[in-house]
Structure 1
Amino acid sequence: MQNQLLKVLEVIKLGEKLKFEMRHSWLSNGRQESVAEHTWMVSLMALLIEPYLTQKVDSSRLLKMIIIHDLVEAEAGDIPAFDTMDNDKLKKLKAEKEIKAIENIRDTLGNGLGEEVYNLWFEFENKNTYEAKVANAMDKLEAQIQHNEADISTWIEIEHKMSFLMDKHVQFDSNLKIFKDLIEQQAEKKLKDAGIDTEKIKINIKS
């Protein structure tokens, strides 16, 4: 038992690195966001959104997936989505590093717990279950919520476009689509208030 708990402690210590692994997102007070803060907010969102989902969800598995998903970034680092959007080489490298990291976590924990963590991570990645789709949607929507809370000066140009690219993450649930629309409307207002032509952005997306 002591040896197993020592392995658990090792992974918890690995997770501590997420407190200083920074994301390309900023807080409303001007400080950069950590991966740990992002994970906490995604977990909170899942808890609060659950009663409004159109299907029954296994909340325990949903929260486990969310908590585990970004743990690999303690070893692999955080690579912003906009960096891999049109870069297949970087996307492949990111995937390889994250798979190696989750394999290391599985092997560190060992026994059934290691396998559970490993399988939950891949369930999130594959997005084949309702819980995984919800977890992915929360992950993507939280990023936009955080951008909406931050000063517009912290946004880079590609993030203007990304504000209108969230549809694909919520199509499986009508209430999440409504929630996404509310977040998108706030993003559009923020962009317009900064003098940015959002209609031009939308036209370019469609073309």
Structure 2
Amino acid sequence: MQQLKNVLQLIKLGEKLKMELRHSWLSNGRRESVAEHTWRVALMAMAIEPYLHQKVNSERLLKMIIIHDLVEAYAKDIPAFHTMDNAEQKALKRQNEIEAIEKIRDILGDENGQAFYHLWFEFEDKITYEAKIANALDKLEAQIQHNEANIDTWLPIEHEMTFMLQKHTAFDPVLNELKDLIEQEGENKLLAANIDIQRLKENLN
């Protein structure tokens, strides 16, 4: 059956996420893969859903999380700090990822492929409550991983990014409270490394 061959091709594409490494390190000193990051974002969604104040479509939320980084099988992982203050790089990343999700849609070539396509755009454009949650958890998981890694693996820009999560969580009080816990862990880690926290915060104001 041709459609099952297409499904198998998509599944095999997923292996690339096991090999694609992020700019994040584990507590044992190993680089993190995209697949590992995605898995823990999904775990976070399952763990926090019962405590959210608004009803969530958990199936849609988990599907979005699983799909959102699949484009990196083609477009590669680009750390947030590479595009944060660079409009040209941000636009290039967006274009490469759109081309990637179009390829993924065309692998399946049916309504299921179209569903993947729409879910990815829903996540990227933060259209729904579920998309906003998925985006927030994506950012929070990255900071958790930084907090767990050796401070020597952090770049100076990542010292500042510890205190830049508010914009992703402000829409929901529960996520904002979780952000506060994660931010405090990051601050404690920076303080233990004798990083000037006050200067960092002043630079952000």
Specify the TM-score bucket, using the shorter chain as the normaliser. over 0.9
User: Is 2:83 the counterpart of 1:88?
Assistant: no
| TM-score normalised per structure 1 | 0.98
SS of residue matched to 1:71: coil
Residue 109 of structure 1 aligns with which residue? Answer: 108
| Distance in 2 between residues matched to 1:185 and 1:100, nearest whole Å | 38
Residue 150 of structure 1 aligns with which residue? Answer: 149
| Distance in 1 between residues matched to 2:156 and 2:51, nearest whole Å | 33
Runs of 5+ in structure 1 lacking a partner?
A: none
Residue 37 of structure 1 aligns with which residue? Answer: 36
Residue 14 of structure 2 aligns with which residue? Answer: 15
Aligned length: 205
| TM-score normalised per structure 2 | 0.99
| Distance in 2 between residues matched to 1:179 and 1:138, nearest whole Å | 10
Residue 184 of structure 2 aligns with which residue? Answer: 185
The letter of the residue matching 1:22 is L
User: Is 2:11 the counterpart of 1:4?
Assistant: no
The letter of the residue matching 1:66 is I
| Distance in 1 between residues matched to 2:114 and 2:182, nearest whole Å | 36
Residue 57 of structure 1 aligns with which residue? Answer: 56
SS of residue matched to 2:69: helix
| Distance in 1 between residues matched to 2:4 and 2:38, nearest whole Å | 24
| Distance in 1 between residues matched to 2:128 and 2:73, nearest whole Å | 26
Runs of 5+ in structure 2 lacking a partner?
A: none
Q: Per-residue deviation at 1:14?
A: 0.7
Deviations 1:144-172 (A, max 9, x none): 00000000000000000000000010111
The letter of the residue matching 1:204 is N
The letter of the residue matching 2:61 is L
| Distance in 1 between residues matched to 2:54 and 2:162, nearest whole Å | 26
Q: Percent identity?
A: 66
| Distance in 1 between residues matched to 2:64 and 2:180, nearest whole Å | 25
4+ residue segments displaced more than 4 Å:
none
Alpha-carbon RMSD across the aligned residues, in angstroms, is 0.5
Q: Per-residue deviation at 1:87?
A: 1.1
| Distance in 1 between residues matched to 2:174 and 2:161, nearest whole Å | 21
